[in-house]
């Protein structure tokens, strides 16, 4: 794929489709070729559908020629994370405990991307059951970062982040139940919005994490993120938790800025201690908001450490999953997942209920805090991307202090939160700035993301990525 086409945003591709100086068939063919070439190095795909993607591209090209595209994203290629149902494909979730039976209907987010005319290339890698903030699994192996083959692209939407950062499609679907969009976005220098809980309908939505997961995309620009939210937001009768329909166009008002906003900065959010590089970069990123006219105030740790209150939800939910898996398959599970799930077998109903009470209190406390503050800024992760051989939730990399301590609060509260590139560590790896908005204020988070993007001078492709891609 030519460098020019590789790094185009979805918005730029759409504009060129409208001018008829670029065709969906051309873009999809070159995207498929690039994915095939890079797959052996990065392992971001678990299923590829060239015939289906090309058929979608041909249909899109016919619509553009008639001047009747289904949406601005008509004919733009993308992919779906393998935790999400795509009709006619299996959903393996990175696990030997699943099978190859094709599912019979699309998840709502997939149906909406199809309705927008997008060409779905295939399904991307995830850790087993999406359980951790790295992307490796017993079934599908290890996914690597375009920034460094020795490092993880994060997780659990690591296949999506690797594809996007490698220039394979301008954005790719992911979902976020504890940081699984924001963490890989931070580790690969991408834009990653976790929308408000319920903003994008989910189905099936009856698993143990159904009330904390949000659907979204990993992208290289805020405008693309807004276009994707336009295409995917909305309720579905199969998801009683989904928010009511909102006719809002999320691209409108993106450039209105943050002048006069009151912004809190919490480098120690939840009493987490980030690496010095991370703290320095996030503090510098926050100062950009002051330059943009916002008032930024250090608000301290703000909430209590999460582990004591919320570990029962995490490991108790894993135990629920474990009970559904035949015992003869337990030996094929990710050892880290199995250890956490087996520990969760001891969680009582009283433990679980107490954790849910704490979840409600956290949501209430944050909603009240946002009465005085328009935004909260924090790190996305305490460290830059860890090496691919890192054992998640081990003594060396505990979930509650290294894995997802900064991101999980917003899954528990349901409020919108995003990762934006904050810069590079001394080792040359990206760090993310987390932008957190009031409940259901996705438009305000996008507006803040765009303001920050305009001041940050972070443009694709980046030299280190190009060097890695060339090896």
In whole angstroms, give the CA distance from residue 232 to residue 415.
Answer: 18
81 is catalytic: yes
Those residues whose C-beta lies under 8 Å from the C-beta of residue 338, and which sit 6 or more positions away, are 322, 330
Q: Supply the pLDDT for residue 3.
A: 67
> Tokens 């894993």 — which residue?
318
Going by C-alpha positions, the residue among 344, 349, 268 that lies closest to residue 311 is 344
Q: Report the mean per-residue pLDDT for the chain.
A: 97
pLDDT digits (tens, 9 = 90+) for 418-430: 999 999 999 999 9
pLDDT digits (tens, 9 = 90+) for 239-290: 999 999 999 999 999 999 999 999 999 999 999 999 999 999 999 999 999 9
Is the pLDDT at 207 greater than 90? The verdict is no
- Asked if 258 contacts 289 with a C-beta cutoff of 8 angstroms, the reply is yes
95 is catalytic: no
Using pLDDT thresholds of 50, 70 and 90, give the confidence band for residue 209.
Answer: confident
Q: Which residues partner with 419 through β-bridges?
A: 192, 434
Architecture of domain 3-470: Alpha-Beta Complex (3.90)
Q: Catalytic one among 23, 79, 152, 156?
A: 156
DSSP, res 399:
I
Q: Cα–Cα–Cα angle for 254, 259, 264, nearest 5°?
A: 100
Listing DSSP states for 347-380 in one string gives: --HHHHHHHHHHHHHHHHHHHHHTTT-SEEEEES
pLDDT digits (tens, 9 = 90+) for 43-66: 999 999 999 999 999 999 999 999
Is the pLDDT at 206 greater than 90? The verdict is no
User: From residue 452, how far is each of 150, 255, 288, 458 by CA, in Å?
Assistant: 30, 10, 7, 10
- Asked if 420 contacts 453 with a C-beta cutoff of 8 angstroms, the reply is yes
Is the pLDDT at 397 greater than 60? The verdict is yes
Q: Catalytic one among 60, 95, 145, 180?
A: 180
90 CB-side CA count, 13 A: 13
Give, rounded to a whole angstrom, the gap between the first and last alpha carbons of the chain: 16
- 211: which 2 tokens? 């009330």
> H-helix or E-strand containing 14?
helix 10-19
- Asked if 415 contacts 404 with a C-beta cutoff of 8 angstroms, the reply is no
Query: Residue by residue, what is the 3-state secondary structure of 179-216?
Result: CCCHHHHHHHCCEEEECCCCCECCCCCCCCCCCCCEEE
In whole angstroms, give the CA distance from residue 122 to residue 136.
Answer: 18
Q: Catalytic one among 14, 23, 79, 81?
A: 81
In whole angstroms, give the CA distance from residue 187 to residue 69.
Answer: 35
242 is catalytic: no
State whether residue 74 is helix, strand or coil.
coil
């Amino acid at each position: 794929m030519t460098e020019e086409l590789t790094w185009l945003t979805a918005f730029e591709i759409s504009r060129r489709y409208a001018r008829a100086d670029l065709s969906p068939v051309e873009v999809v063919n070159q995207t498929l070729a690039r994915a095939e070439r890079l797959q052996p190095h990065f392992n971001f795909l678990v299923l590829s559908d060239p015939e289906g993607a090309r058929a979608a591209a041909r249909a899109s090209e016919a619509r553009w020629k008639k001047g009747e595209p289904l949406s601005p994203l008509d004919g733009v290629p993308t992919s779906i994370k393998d935790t999400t149902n795509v009709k006619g494909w299996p959903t393996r979730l990175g696990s030997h405990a699943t099978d190859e039976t094709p599912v019979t209907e699309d998840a709502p987010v997939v149906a909406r991307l199809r309705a927008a005319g997008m060409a779905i290339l295939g399904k991307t890698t995830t850790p087993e059951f999406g359980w951790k903030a790295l992307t490796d699994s017993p079934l599908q192996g290890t996914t690597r970062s375009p920034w460094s083959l020795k490092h993880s692209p994060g997780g659990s939407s690591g296949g999506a982040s690797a594809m996007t950062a490698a220039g394979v499609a301008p954005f790719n679907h992911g979902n976020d139940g504890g940081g699984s969009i924001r963490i890989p976005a931070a580790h690969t220098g991408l834009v990653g919005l976790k929308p408000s809980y319920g903003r994008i309908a989910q189905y099936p939505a009856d698993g143990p994490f159904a009330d904390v997961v949000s659907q979204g995309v990993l992208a290289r620009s805020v405008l693309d993120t807004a276009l994707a939210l336009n295409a995917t937001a909305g309720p579905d009768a199969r998801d009683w938790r989904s928010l009511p329909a909102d006719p809002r166009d999320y691209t409108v008002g993106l450039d209105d800025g943050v002048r006069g906003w009151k912004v809190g900065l919490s480098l120690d959010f939840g009493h987490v201690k980030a690496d010095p590089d991370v703290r320095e970069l996030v503090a510098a990123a926050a100062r950009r908001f002051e330059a943009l006219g916002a008032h930024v105030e250090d608000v301290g740790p703000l909430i209590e450490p999460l582990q004591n209150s919320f570990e029962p939800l995490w490991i108790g939910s894993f135990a629920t999953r474990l009970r559904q898996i035949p015992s003869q398959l337990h030996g094929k599970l990710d050892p880290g997942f199995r250890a956490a799930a087996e520990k969760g077998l001891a969680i009582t109903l009283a433990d679980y209920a107490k954790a849910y009470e704490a979840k409600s209190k956290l949501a209430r406390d944050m909603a009240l805090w946002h009465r005085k503050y328009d935004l909260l800024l924090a790190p996305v992760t305490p460290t830059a991307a860890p090496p691919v051989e890192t054992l998640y939730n081990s003594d060396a990399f505990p979930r509650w202090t290294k894995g997802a301590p900064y991101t999980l609060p917003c899954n528990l509260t349901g409020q919108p939160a995003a990762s934006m590139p904050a810069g590079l560590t001394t080792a040359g790896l990206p760090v993310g700035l987390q932008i957190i908005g009031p409940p259901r204020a996705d438009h305000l988070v996008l507006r803040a993301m765009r303001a920050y993007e305009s001041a940050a001078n972070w443009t694709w492709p980046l030299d280190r990525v190009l060097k890695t891609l060339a090896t």
